[in-house]
Amino acid sequence: MDAVTPGQEGFDRRIEPFRKELLAYCYRMLGSPHDAEDLVQETYLRAWRAREQYDGTRSSLRTWLYRIATNACLTALEVRGRRPLPSGLVAASDPLAPLVQGENLAWLQPLPDSMLDAGDPAGAVVERSGLRLAFAAALQHLSARQRGALILRDVLSFSASESAEILGTTVVSVNSSLQRARARVKEAGVRREPLGEPPLAEQRAWVDRYMRAFEHADVEELKRLLTADVVMEMPPMLNWFAGRGNYGLFMDWVFEAAGTDWRLAAVTANGQPGFGAFRRAGDRYEPHTLQIFTVTAEGISRNSVFQGAEIFAAFGLAAGFDAPR
């Protein structure tokens, strides 16, 4: 391996501060933390190989890195389908209907807040509003270039000319893609910054109350914490439903089918509070579901429930817990 020169070390130091915001960008484009990490690694490899070609008189280092990341994302999206959530794919179902798993579908996955914060004081500057699950899901219904235009212009506040440079197109094309993207997201009824949302500490308090009720299998208390039009969806299952009554019926079934002995671990993802639920299985509490909540001033309005070893591994929770003897 060739020795690293002082100039190369200086280049690495200059591009490293952008890593977390590029991770957030790639997640918005791909909808998967694992894919986003891979694309950021690819971006930094491409940047290092092309370091001699960077011309600071033509564009900022940040813009140059975003162009490399965008090219990597667009290439990846040519072979990877969109990652929806069930509520954006099929009609609502009966809460007591048999669970139906979506076949051959890749679902939107939550992004652990720790991936943007851990060991990185600059992580706090990452724009979080465009990471919320509902907005991230809406992005998945846009074409790749519409997605890029909306994120670059409305979330990251790049100018039209900078966005055109990053996307390798014209200002006219960027503006056209942006107009279509905004219309599509508006049709979906999704805002990047939900109105009337309480501070994160207050959201956490609502979810902490939900966790205590969950641990006691107290369905009536769970229902008191929900808005009237609450939605629950649970990829990889296609089933989803709305309404406090339906939610209660489903939770009655959950505790009847899966028991009432649980251990919960608080998490945050996409700037939203949640928890991992671990079900007692012999002398272990095994991973069951990871639940991320949307909270309004009136209560919990959405519970996005995820399953799978990859999901728990991303939050460092794959091992589960020992149960008391």
| 200-322 and 6-80+106-187 share a CATH fold | no
> What is the spatial distance between Cα 115 and Cα 113, in angstroms, rounded to a whole number?
5
DSSP letters along 287-313, please?
Answer: EEEEEEEEEETTEEEEEEEE-SHHHHH
What are the start-end ranges of the H helices in the chain?
A: 6-15, 19-30, 33-49, 61-77, 114-117, 133-139, 144-150, 160-167, 171-187, 200-215, 219-224, 244-258, 309-314
Residue whose pair of structure tokens reads 């149960």 in the numeric block: 323
Contact call for residues 319 and 276 (beta carbons, < 8 A): no
Higher-pLDDT residue of 57 and 34 is 34
Contact call for residues 236 and 251 (beta carbons, < 8 A): no
Predicted confidence band of residue 194 (pLDDT cuts 50, 70, 90): low
> What is the spatial distance between Cα 128 and Cα 155, in angstroms, rounded to a whole number?
9
Note the pLDDT of residue 323. 86
- Reduce the DSSP state of residue 321 to 3 states and report it: strand
208-244 pLDDT, tens digit per residue, is 999 999 999 999 999 999 999 999 999 999 999 999 9
> What is the spatial distance between Cα 286 and Cα 319, in angstroms, rounded to a whole number?
8
Predicted confidence band of residue 193 (pLDDT cuts 50, 70, 90): low
Predicted confidence band of residue 122 (pLDDT cuts 50, 70, 90): very low
Class of domain 6-80+106-187: mainly alpha
CATH architecture of 200-322: Roll (3.10)
Find residue 264's DSSP bridge partners: 277
Residue 201: CB atoms within 10 A of its CB come to: 8
Region 253-267: mean pLDDT is 97
Q: In the chain, where are the structural domains located?
A: 6-80+106-187, 200-322
Per-residue CA distances from 270 to 110, 172, 249 (Å)? 6, 32, 28
Mean pLDDT across the chain: 92
Predicted confidence band of residue 195 (pLDDT cuts 50, 70, 90): low
Give ∠ CA 108-109-111 in degrees, rounded to 5: 130
Higher-pLDDT residue of 325 and 321 is 321
Note the pLDDT of residue 125. 55
- Reduce the DSSP state of residue 239 to 3 states and report it: coil
What is the helix (H) or strand (E) element at residue 130, kind and residue range?
Answer: none
Predicted confidence band of residue 11 (pLDDT cuts 50, 70, 90): confident
Predicted confidence band of residue 2 (pLDDT cuts 50, 70, 90): very low
- Assess whether pLDDT exceeds 90 at residue 9: no
Predicted confidence band of residue 162 (pLDDT cuts 50, 70, 90): very high
